[in-house]
A and B are shown apart, each in its own frame.
Chain A
Amino acid sequence: MKISRVVLAVAFLLGAAFVVPSAGRAAEVKWKPLGTAPNVVGIAAANGKLFAVTADAKLLLADPSAAALSWKEIGAAPGGVQAMGAGGGKLFCALNAGNAGRFRVRDAVESAAEWKDDGHAWCLTAIAGAGEKVYALIDCKEPGAEVTIMFRSAVSTPEEIAKANPNPGRGLDGLPWNGVDRRPPLGALAMTATGGKFYVATKEDTLCVGDPTKPDVKWDVIGDAAGVICLAGDAGKLFALTKSGWVVSCPVN
């Protein structure tokens, strides 16, 4: 009891969300390699398929249930993607500052479709679609600044924009991103949602689960996430892109 108080105090001082290591965590997550993803910078999962964006602005599709992962180009992707996600039948991309930090949306279909601009998305490093909302990790990479979680509606309407952001300026047009005042685990770098749960991979190679849509979020460490830089979730499965260019998968409850 005393120790957990100390841990809580340290976590509070560090400004980090409270992370509880689960007993026997290694047994909870078993990653299985599906194949490689050369030149891929982001993945998302929807409708039983894997979507990927490449560094040279292509959108790829693969069937994760196939014996060997095989990527097929299905259209163009925006350049400078630094985060990708899916939810509600849509694919989302956040572009880097070099590409004006924009939020792009298209239908999660297996053919070419238009990527629509839907406002700003500065400093987004991960996107998780959850119902009608999208949650994102925001990392401004300032020294000493913590990663935070923000959210907005998955797809905006002109009425909503007019109501929520009557005076856009300085590149903050479109729907504003709102803070939930709930921190991700320390060192969070990838996030996805599936089955009503949010999963976060950290710079310390851990996989955590929690629900930032509710107050008093508690992040549980449920296993390793060695080298994971991007997460995608769909139908009870997690997919991860690793820094060495592999796509791995594991089932989750």
Chain B
Amino acid sequence: MRISTMATASAAAVLIACVAAAGPSAAATADVAAAISAGDFVGCQAALAEGLVGKLPADAAGITAAALEPLVADPAVRTAVDQWQFIAKLGADKLAAFAKGGPGNAEFLGWIMNSPDVMDAFLLAAVPTGFARRDENAYGIDVASLGIWRTIHDADPDAKSGMCLRLAMATALAPPPAQSGYSKVAIDPLSRYRHFKAAEQSGKLADNFKNLTVWDYSKIVCADQSDAELAWGRQMIDEFRPDLREGGRVVEMVSSVWRRNSPVPYTGMQAMLQGGGKCGPRSTFGVFINRANGIPAIGVAQPAHACVAWRGFDGTWQVGYGKGWGASRLDGITGPEFVEGVTARSSVTFFSMVEHARWLGSAAATTPAGKEKGAALLALAQKMMRDSPASVGDLSRSFRPEESEADPGANGATVATESTPAAQPPAGAPQPAKAVDGVIRVAAGDLAKTDGEGMWGGPRGVLRGRSRGQDGAFLVHFPQAQKTCWAEYIVDAPQKGVYEVVLTASAVNDGQLLEASSEHYNKTALIRVPMSHGLWAATPAADIKLNEGVQKVRIATMPNQRGVSVLALQLRPKPAPEPAP
């Protein structure tokens, strides 16, 4: 063992000495290959540290930010620092055990440890967000993550670079639990990786998903819901509130989680939305719906409350449905520390430089010759981190704080202004919908007019959003808690008589009702919208009377409903009853 350590150390010293002449890759490859082959990362790590000390300025006083920058930018130094940190965080003994786990493992380790960009992304993602824990540098990385990573790496050639690589690393670092929380379905990390890869490739996730970092992805792929629930979370948004995709506002679905004790048991996220719940379930649903749609999110603890934080499209993190950051705790730290940390993390280059300085200092400090310089580097890293511009802003600010303990508008509060404005009818006079094969079919988005009045304010009339399915058809959404809300359509009936009206509609709660009526008759048809967990379903047929020719047909919500979306209307002449014998 001693011989091999000495041999490795000697080899490393030689290799590092050759860096300037032969280039960094060669040095690193040889060093790592020997360590992997010998299963001795202790010696490798020590050799790397020795070599790095040789790269530092001769005097500790020369360790300044100005001197650090070119040093960290040096590919050889950067590679060696990454390798040292990689061994330090995973543990030399555990890494050795992994390397000996099979030739595939050794090859995989060789690929990682000779790819500084890969190591950078992986190691930086594992850095804690809080400044104190970054300073301590005492965290570790579970070596099991390498097993998950390798499984994905071997299963998907795409996982070697780009978004797929980052997604693979995130799944390795923050795998989902073995079983989903409420639906009790087994979750497999490889399936989770494939789930989000496929969702991104089919354009079902937030627009900026493909540009997120490994750390961002780690706040998505860890979702403790089944892949089927995640897929439902996207489809439901698409068929119930597609307007919330604009600007990544899916968190507003929390307002649709009825704040009450749920009358139905939670068998999954669908049941949670159906039954409603208080702050805990609303927080869970808020985190879930963000993650399902490719938006990083974290559950937030507040005094006697739970709510949600998510990454906005502008890259800043928001907290909502509770108090502000000042009363929050998440990701193991306080809200202000979190905001400070994610702001620092968002300055990618500077964040990387600070961490490389810290890793370099930690490595140097393990050697007798580098102790003083290592301490100077750690102090410099600490100072740079603390001095980094990281405004935490207004710590009391929160999204929809009035809904922390109440449904929208309850307790007399003015309802939060819906982010989606009420629908405007398409430009130009709407063409009357004519019967084809005797049936009048109307796209709900082709409304002629809309209006209404909320119980607690808010926009007047239906909201309009474009669904990803159904050839991008527009749907209209009748918001919850309306006194009145209607949409009007122009139809051209081929004959006078009774027509059966059937809607393609979606609802997330039981007992939702709409009314259909026509311009010339008082008779209204009560339409019972089936509870469809927010997915399209046909309503039972209801009868309205139409005159022959062009006229208005109106679909209206009943007072104080929970929200219904409509994709299409179908009006079919009702056959005359059989004459009595």
> Which residues does A use to contact B, with CB under 8 Å?
189, 201-205, 225-229, 242-244
One digit per residue, 1 when the CB lies within 8 angstroms of any chain A CB and 0 when it does not, for chain B 514-549 equals 000001111110000000000000000000010100
Interchain nearest-CB distance for A183 vs B (Å): 18
Contact B519 A226 (CB under 8 A): no
CB closest residue in chain A, given B545: A205
Cα separation A227 to B521 with both chains bound (whole Å) = 4
CB closest residue in chain B, given A143: B559
Residue from A189, A201, A227 in contact with B520 in the complex, judged by beta carbons closer than 8 Å: A227
A242-B524 contact given A205-B545, A226-B545, CB 8 Å threshold = no
The residues of B that contact A244 with a CB separation of less than 8 Å are 519-520
Query: What DSSP secondary structure best describes chain A's contact surface?
Result: loop
B520, B521, B524: which has the most chain A beta carbons within 10 Å? B521
CB closest residue in chain A, given B558: A143
> Which residues does B use to contact A, with CB under 8 Å?
519-524, 545, 547
Cα separation A205 to B497 with both chains bound (whole Å) = 13
The residues of A that contact B521 with a CB separation of less than 8 Å are 205, 226-227
Contact B519 A204 (CB under 8 A): no
Cα separation A244 to B523 with both chains bound (whole Å) = 13
A201, A204, A227: which has the most chain B beta carbons within 10 Å? A227
The residues of B that contact A227 with a CB separation of less than 8 Å are 519-522
Contact B522 A228 (CB under 8 A): yes
Cα separation A205 to B525 with both chains bound (whole Å) = 12
The residues of A that contact B520 with a CB separation of less than 8 Å are 226-227, 242-244
Residue from B522, B545, B547 in contact with A243 in the complex, judged by beta carbons closer than 8 Å: B522
CB closest residue in chain B, given A229: B522
The residues of A that contact B545 with a CB separation of less than 8 Å are 205, 226
Cα separation A103 to B522 with both chains bound (whole Å) = 26
The residues of B that contact A204 with a CB separation of less than 8 Å are 522-523
Cα separation A228 to B522 with both chains bound (whole Å) = 7
Cα separation A43 to B461 with both chains bound (whole Å) = 30
Interchain nearest-CB distance for B521 vs A (Å): 5
The residues of A that contact B522 with a CB separation of less than 8 Å are 189, 201-205, 225-229, 243
Interchain nearest-CB distance for B393 vs A (Å): 44
The residues of B that contact A226 with a CB separation of less than 8 Å are 520-522, 545, 547
The residues of A that contact B523 with a CB separation of less than 8 Å are 203-205
CB closest residue in chain A, given B519: A244
Contact B519 A203 (CB under 8 A): no
CB closest residue in chain B, given A202: B522
Interchain nearest-CB distance for A26 vs B (Å): 12
B519, B522, B523, B545: which has the most chain A beta carbons within 10 Å? B522
27 A-B contacts, Cβ less than 8 Å apart? A189-B522, A201-B522, A202-B522, A203-B522, A203-B523, A203-B524, A204-B522, A204-B523, A205-B521, A205-B522, A205-B523, A225-B522, A226-B520, A226-B521, A226-B522, A226-B545, A226-B547, A227-B519, A227-B521, A227-B522, A228-B522, A229-B522, A243-B519, A243-B520, A243-B522, A244-B519, A244-B520
Interchain nearest-CB distance for B155 vs A (Å): 58
Interchain nearest-CB distance for B49 vs A (Å): 77
Interchain nearest-CB distance for A243 vs B (Å): 7
Interchain nearest-CB distance for B106 vs A (Å): 73
Cα separation A12 to B153 with both chains bound (whole Å) = 74
